[in-house]
Structure 1
């Protein structure tokens, strides 16, 4: 099976993609293109999967970070050693492919095509709330990007209908984010449904990017195409695969 790569016209003609789970070498609960080196999948299968992605991106190396739900951004200007702890990367170096792993959180790809600067961010609710998206924009500006030229595209992520949270989540979020009620609708009992991509778009717009969009794919609701941490938890499975998203100058 060939790889399935979702793209955005706003990022064309840059080489980029939000990869689905199709076309990979892994099996079982990881069936398909699991690119999570931190999963309990067979390491050789993950390596094969990542090599397939690198080939599709036209790169010999996928820059990566050790994602920790932070607001930290690194600059990548060449081949990496160990992956540093951070949740976003930016570069102005041609040929460098930035990659982010997700399994419900938002993968966000950025580009200022006119000035040759790109970025990639992992934005769960915690990282987005703490400023990972605005920090990515600022890091791109530090490399010569212009805010109004930046395009930011949110890839497959969990949608509001599948993202049930408790009152403690609502309270934590509301205490830090003014006017946050618009991202929640009432669920069953004391539960709420949280709109992560709407919050992500709001953060990007507040950061001043020229264009921001979500490609409208829900990871939870489409098991044939996407891995989902929350779906795995609900199904009481032992582990879950990680989707990869990448962009290259």
Structure 2
């Protein structure tokens, strides 16, 4: 099976892709293109998958740059391949030939580009990272490399949708403490449960930060098991582990 790579016209002509799970070498619960080196999948299969993703972006696998994601607002600026993954949740560069990558399985993968300035970025934005400012920090880092916020395009890739994202009152309270207007991203669920709209919150943070061009691809990771990995779906199915989707962008 060939790779399936979702793209956005808004990021054109910058090469990029939100890879689905199709076309990979992994099997079992990881079946497909699992690129998560932190998963319990066979290392050889993950290596093959990462090589295929790198090849699709026309870079060596060593130039597929990623970080050790920890749900933080921290950003790394890179100008060469990284031998080790620093703890952070976003990465930016103005160096041609590097592909910036993010791994997700329900959280938002967000790709950024200012083609005129030649600056790109990639961020992992779950609810905690988005609330703590990882998207704004990515924009700040891009500006530090010469990007102009008014020229930056940001695209949110496949992520869990509101109808599939049930959360508890403690998370709602945390968002209310940040800003009472955040209530609009929650809908009533059963009992004290609520349904959180993660992509809408991500778009709100991007637009409030001055990004005029921002969109979500409108793919729900939880609802489409054939195309996407989902941490929450795997948890509900009581599976031992789950695959990680890769999203990447390069100059």
Aligning the two structures, in what range does the TM-score lie when normalised by the shorter sequence? Answer: over 0.9
Q: Verify: 1:17 aligned to 2:17, yes or no.
A: yes
Deviations, residues 204-223 of structure 1 (Å, cap 9, x unaligned): 00111130000100000000
Partner of residue 192, structure 1: 194
For 1:185 and 1:71, the matched residues in 2 are separated by 26
- In the alignment, is the contact (CA less than 8 A) between 1:111 and 1:152 conserved in 2? yes
Q: Which residue of 190, 200, 203 maps to 1:201?
A: 203
Aligned position for 2:49: 49
Aligned counterpart in structure 2 of residue 161 of structure 1, from 134, 146, 163:
163
Question: How many pairs are equivalent?
Answer: 249
Cα distance in 1 between the residues matched to 2:6 and 2:38: 24
Q: Shift in Å at residue 112 of structure 1?
A: 0.3
Deviation at 1:13, TM superposition (A): 1.3
Pick from 159, 167, 180: which aligns with 1:178?
A: 180
In the TM superposition, what are the counterparts of 1:97-246 in structure 2 within 5 Å?
Answer: 97-246=99-248
Q: TM-score, normalised by structure 1?
A: 0.99
- Structure 2 gap ranges (5+): none
Q: 1:177, 1:243 → 2: CA distance?
A: 31
Tell me how far 1:177 sits from its aligned partner. 2.9
Unpaired stretches in structure 1, ≥5 consecutive residues: none
Deviates more, 1:170-179 or 1:99-108: 170-179
| Greater alpha carbon shift after TM alignment, 131-140 vs 203-212 | 203-212
Q: Distance in 2 between matches of 1:126 and 1:19?
A: 23
Contact 1:129 / 1:177 at 8 angstroms: preserved in 2?
no
Structure 2 CA distance for aligned equivalents of residues 202 and 189 of structure 1: 27
Separation in 1, partners of 2:81, 2:162: 38
Q: Which residue of 1 aligns with 2:69?
A: 67
**Cα offset, 1:176, TM superposition:** 1.7
Superposition RMSD on alpha carbons, in Å? Answer: 0.6
Q: Which segment drifts farther, 87-96 or 177-186?
A: 177-186
Q: CA deviation at 1:178?
A: 3.3
Cα distance in 2, alignment partners of residues 158 and 177 from structure 1: 22
Indicate whether 1:82 and 2:89 are aligned: no
The yes-or-no answer on 1:7 pairing with 2:7 is yes
TM-score, scaled to structure 2 = 0.98
Contact kept in structure 2, 1:166 and 1:191, CA below 8 Å: yes
| CA distance in 1: counterparts of 2:133 and 2:208, whole angstroms | 11
